[in-house]
Amino acid sequence: MSHVDSQVLQTIIDTAHDHFFIVDGRGKVIDVSPGAAAVYGLSREELRATTVQELVERGVLKPSVSLEVIRTGQPAQLMQQTGTGRRVIAQAHPVFVDGKLERVVSRSMDLTDLQLLQDEYALLQQRFSEHLKRATPTSIGDELELDSLQVRSGVMREIALLLKRVAPTDATVLMLGESGVGKTAFARQLHAWSQRSDGPFIDVNCAAIPESLFESEMFGYQPGAFSGATRQGKAGLLEQADGGTLFLDEIGELPLPMQTKLLKVIQDGSLTRLGDTQPRRVDFRLVVATNQDLASRVEEGAFRLDLYYRLNVIPVTLPPLRERREDIPVLAELQLERLNKRYGRRKILHASLWSELMAHDWPGNVRELENWLERAWLSAADDVIGSNTRKSPTSFANATNSGILQKEHSSSHVDTLQLGEQESLKQAMERIERDILARLCQQLPSTYAMADRLGISQPSVVRKLNKYGLKISPSSMKTHHQRSE
Q: Strands 76-82 and 87-97, how do they pair?
A: antiparallel
Does the domain at residues 135-319 carry the CATH identifier 3.20.20.100? no
Cis peptide before 279 (omega within 30 of 0): no
Give the integer Cα–Cα distance in Å for 111 and 84.
Answer: 13
Range 327-413: architecture per CATH: Orthogonal Bundle (1.10)
User: Beta-carbon neighbour count of residue 425 at 10 Å?
Assistant: 8
Range 59-67 average pLDDT: 89
| Cα pseudo-dihedral 445, 450, 451, 454, rounded to 10 | 160
pLDDT tens profile 287-330: 999 998 888 888 888 888 889 988 988 899 999 999 988 889 88
pLDDT value for 130 = 58
Give the integer Cα–Cα distance in Å for 328 and 362.
Answer: 10
CA distances from 451 to 173, 210, 378, 476 (A): 27, 18, 19, 16
CA distances from 483 to 134, 339, 379, 478 (A): 51, 13, 9, 9
pLDDT value for 4 = 67
Q: List CB contacts of 216: < 8 A, sequence separation 6 or more.
A: 225, 226, 229, 234, 236, 274
Give the integer Cα–Cα distance in Å for 144 and 370.
Answer: 26
By the 8 A CB rule, do 69 and 93 touch?
Answer: yes
pLDDT value for 413 = 42
Under CATH, what is the fold of the domain 3-109? Beta-Lactamase (3.30.450)
- Residues facing 363 on adjacent strands: none
Q: With bands split at pLDDT 50, 70 and 90, how would you rate the model's confidence at 399?
A: very low
Give the integer Cα–Cα distance in Å for 473 and 437.
Answer: 11
Q: Is the pLDDT of residue 137 over 70?
A: no
> Domain locations in the chain?
3-109, 135-319, 327-413, 422-485
Q: Which letter does DSSP use for residue 200 in this model?
A: -
Residue with the larger pLDDT of the pair 116 and 212: 212
